[in-house]
Structure 1
Amino acid sequence: MVINMNNAQVDELVVKHLKANPQFFVQHIDLLDQLIIPHAQKGTLSLVEMQLERQRERIKELEAELALFADLAHQQQDIFLALMPLQKRLAQCKNFPEGVEEINKWARNFELQQAKILLFNDCWQKNPSVGEEFWIDRKGFELIRLERIGLRHFYLGELTNKEKSLLFLPEELPVGSIACCLLGMKKNQHKSTALLLFSARDTAHFHNGQDTAFLKHLVSIVELHLHRWLMIYQQAE
């Protein structure tokens, strides 16, 4: 009997098999040298080289986290203490959907309607584990950026119904006011790679002129973890 499976189902089956059989590569030691894995910057890597690369990347991420929080604890202790619980939970998240869910839970504790992250479809390679609800078209958002954000990294305030329909699903409406944060601007000054959005029912909750110091530190933390969650999908060239 022939069973037809799509790529996602095959991938899931392979992952389950390898997890259930940790001795697989011991029994097939030659595969360690034969497997070649595409890499965005280095062309191709062996499985062992990829493991070492992942470890080096994780060390860099941990060093960046420590530096960020050491600076924050020294300069703004109140923000440091407010963000520590979120940082701890995000560090435990293994993938993008888990991370978004934790940020959303954290936001709801502050009586916000929702928190979400939208990925620009020209910056990341799509993957079946990241649903369509997490993606946004840059051309469509460009109208909002030009009208609301300009050269800044944040927008706090209300949106038109047309603008809301681009950023939120029908079931996430109505939305009163939002905080829109551009992610990835430090690595690429020309365009952001994702959006971090917070929404509130109250039209006056977020408004122009509010202090964005807290949001700036929050964005720095989310960006650190976003790279880790999406590293396996590779950033598009």
Structure 2
Amino acid sequence: MDKENIKQQVVQFLQSHPDFFKNHLDLLDCLIVPHNQSGTISLIEMQLARQREKIQQLEKSLQLFAQLANQQQDIFFALMPLQQKLSQCNTLTDGITTINQWAKEWELQQAKILLFTNKWHKHNELLEDYWLDPKAFEIIRLERFGLRRFYLGNMTNKEKSLLFLANEFPIGSVACCLLGTKTSQNATALLIFSSRDTQHFHNGQDTKFLKHLVDIVELHLSRWLSNHWDNMQCNNY
């Protein structure tokens, strides 16, 4: 039996017996896990580190909402239900579906997230519809955003064709939000809201609500994509 078959049997056994180490605690002291920054760490250390990361993300989320509640109660109460739902999402697909449903409750046409291909590891299980070539987007960034991270208004049919699928037309007006940056440069993803109404989004609108919304989505984006990667690794076994 070759090593790959043995590895697969070990993985299948541990997946079927998650409590195996409960009766073999001595093995936990022997296991080590490669780590990009710390060299090698024990399995317990890795589990604790992952828990700490989740706690830190939760603390950031709670801090954000505490500040928001103190500053702008109307925005806080509008975004709180969305934040609760996004916290329960495990993948990018789940997150986009939730944001899209929320947008429709606000009588918008749709919401979507596009990932820049030069900023994220491309997951095979994510359709091409989720990805955006930053070179192709550069013309829109320069023309529509300047140094800002938000654009609200109309777009040409050529610009819309880059951001939307054929079955998503017609598009009236859009609100485009760059994620992962405080300016239009070095963004990692694009959050888009669209409306059938050509006047719904327009230049000069207050972007305060969108800024808070972007902060919330950014809290979860890396986690969603990390979970996609974990799921893909499990499926490859």
TM score, norm. by length of structure 2: 0.83
Q: Does the alignment pair 1:54 with 2:54?
A: no
Q: Write out per-residue CA displacement over residues 150-176 of structure 1, whole angstroms, 9 at most, x where no aligned residue.
A: 100100011111111111111111211
In the other structure, the counterpart of 1:154 is 150
Secondary structure of the structure 2 residue equivalent to 1:22: coil
1:132 is matched with 128
The one-letter code of the counterpart of 1:176 is: G
Cα distance change on mapping 1:44 and 1:123 into 2, 3 Å: farther
Task: For residues 81-130 of structure 1, give each alpha carbon's deviation from its aligned partner in whole angstroms, at most 9, with x where no partner exists.
Answer: 00011011011111111011000000000111110111111111112332
**Cα distance in 2, alignment partners of residues 224 and 111 from structure 1:** 25
Where in structure 2 are the equivalents of 1:21-40 lying within 5 Å?
A: 21-25=17-21, 30=27, 33-34=30-31, 36-37=33-34, 39=36
Return the letter of the residue paired with 1:119.
L
Aligned counterpart, 1:195: 190
Going from structure 1 to structure 2, the CA distance change for 1:121 and 1:71 (only over 3 Å counts) comes to same
Partners of 1:37 and 1:50 within 8 A in 2: no
Partner amino acid, structure 1, of 2:54: R
Distance 1:114 1:23, change over 3 A: same
SS at match of 1:64: helix
Residue 231 of structure 1, CA deviation: 3.2
CA distance in 1 between counterparts of 2:174 and 2:100 reads 14
Amino acid in structure 2 at the alignment position of 1:158:
N
What RMSD, in angstroms, separates the aligned Cα atoms of the two structures?
A: 2.7
Q: Quick one: which amino acid aligns to residue 69 of structure 1?
A: F
Identity %: 60
Distance 1:33 1:130, change over 3 A: farther
Contact 2:87-2:220 at 8 Å conserved across structures:
yes
Distance (whole Å) between structure 2 residues aligned to residue 166 and residue 180 of structure 1 = 13
For the residue of structure 2 that corresponds to 1:202, the secondary structure is coil
Q: Which residue of 1 aligns with 2:4?
A: none
Partner of 2:216: 221
Contact 2:181 2:188 in 1 (8 A): yes
Q: 2: distance between equivalents of 1:140 and 1:68?
A: 34
The residue identity in structure 2 corresponding to 1:185 is: T
Distance in 2 between the 1:32 and 1:95 partners?
32
Cα 1:50–1:169 shift into 2, 3 Å: farther
**AA aligned opposite 2:104:** R
> 2:110 maps to which residue?
114
Query: Which entry has the higher C-alpha Rg, 1 or 2?
Result: 2
Conserved 8 A contact 1:115-1:198: yes
**What code does the residue aligned with 2:33 have?**
I
What's the counterpart of residue 7 of structure 1? none
- For residues 142 and 117 of structure 1, the distance between their equivalents in structure 2, rounded to whole angstroms, comes to 17
Distance 1:32 1:171 in 2: 55
| Contact map agreement 2:178 2:187 (CA 8 A) in 1 | yes
With the length of structure 1 as denominator, give the TM-score of the two structures.
0.83
User: For structure 2, which runs of at least 5 residues remain unmatched after alignment?
Assistant: 1-7, 231-237
Counterpart residue number, 1:231: 226
Q: Which amino acid aligns with 1:82?
A: A
Structure 1 residue identity aligned to 2:117: N
Alignment length (residue pairs) = 222
